[in-house]
Amino acid sequence: MSDSSRSTATTPVVNAPGASILDDASLAWRALKAIVKRPFYAVYERRLAKRLHEWELPRHIGIIMDGNRRFARDFGRRRVLYGHSRGAEKLREVLRWCQECNIPVVTVWSFSLDNFQRNDAEVDDLLQLFEDRTRELIDSPDVHENGIRVRYIGKTDLLPESLQQAIDEVEHTTRDYDDFHLNIAMAYGGRQEITDAFRQYLVDRNEEGASLADVAEEIDDSCIERYLYTKGQPEPDLILRTSGEIRMSGFLLWQSAYSEYYFCDTYWPAFRRIDLFRALRAYSQRQRRLGR
């Protein structure tokens, strides 16, 4: 799950002398503040929920689920898998909220091509977590009762064979659903997606006997769009990134040309329904010209 590169250089506070006392005090203080604020947030959330029907909502929302590792470190966990596991649970909640808001397409970025460069132990933990969660989707009542079509986008051939098999099974099991679309970007890179699309377009035209001159004459946006990982789906209207990082990192580069962006300071595992409502309200208030 995507996270900022600078967090890898952060030394966990628990390694410092006396850090456990300071860390416990910090956690206790944050917990106390959360308890005090909870009733006020509940009132605010209900107020936003009542106005939801007044807003113009996105048809497709893209989410960069960032901050899992920093979340784990803030809780004094030496293994960042804790943050990734909590992030996976949060995804279930957020998908339910999106369904409640009648947002039919959601694309989430779980693992980038660059993430393969992390230390072997973390990558192995992540890939096993992905496989476990993917297998859960195969028989998930939430998936089947709500007609969710699940697709994985990216260089999935780079993933372990057992994970690829799980992906094939969940995609096959949900292939006929059309009420809600969930795209999981895994082993994904935006530049790689565009490169793959161009390459496949050229391969197909070559097999059809087209000359290079023919291809140069005819090529336009529509030629490439039908080879993108998200072909057949609307482009993302809104892209949301958690954890306070203000950059796209290559997420849906082609598709996001006219997307609205929303950056949230909250780490992904701590993302709340009120945070989603705020993002949707901000989107509704934007004046979208789509280049016109």
Q: Is 66 a catalytic residue?
A: yes
Q: Is 119 a catalytic residue?
A: no
Exactly one of 68, 115, 237, 275 is catalytic; name it. 115
Exactly one of 66, 74, 237, 275 is catalytic; name it. 66
Output the DSSP codes for the chain: ----GGGGGPPPGGGSTTHHHHHHHHHHHHHHHHHHHHHHHHHHHHHHHHHGGGSPPPSEEEEE---HHHHHHHTT-SSTHHHHHHHHHHHHHHHHHHHHTT--EEEEEEEEGGGGGS-HHHHHHHHHHHHHHHHHHHT-HHHHHTTEEEEEES-GGGS-HHHHHHHHHHHHHTTT--SEEEEEEEEE-HHHHHHHHHHHHHHHHHHTT--HHHHHHH--HHHHHTTSTTTTSPPPSEEEE-TT----TTTTTTTTTT-EEEE--S-GGG--HHHHHHHHHHHHHS---TT-
Residues with a known catalytic role: 66, 115
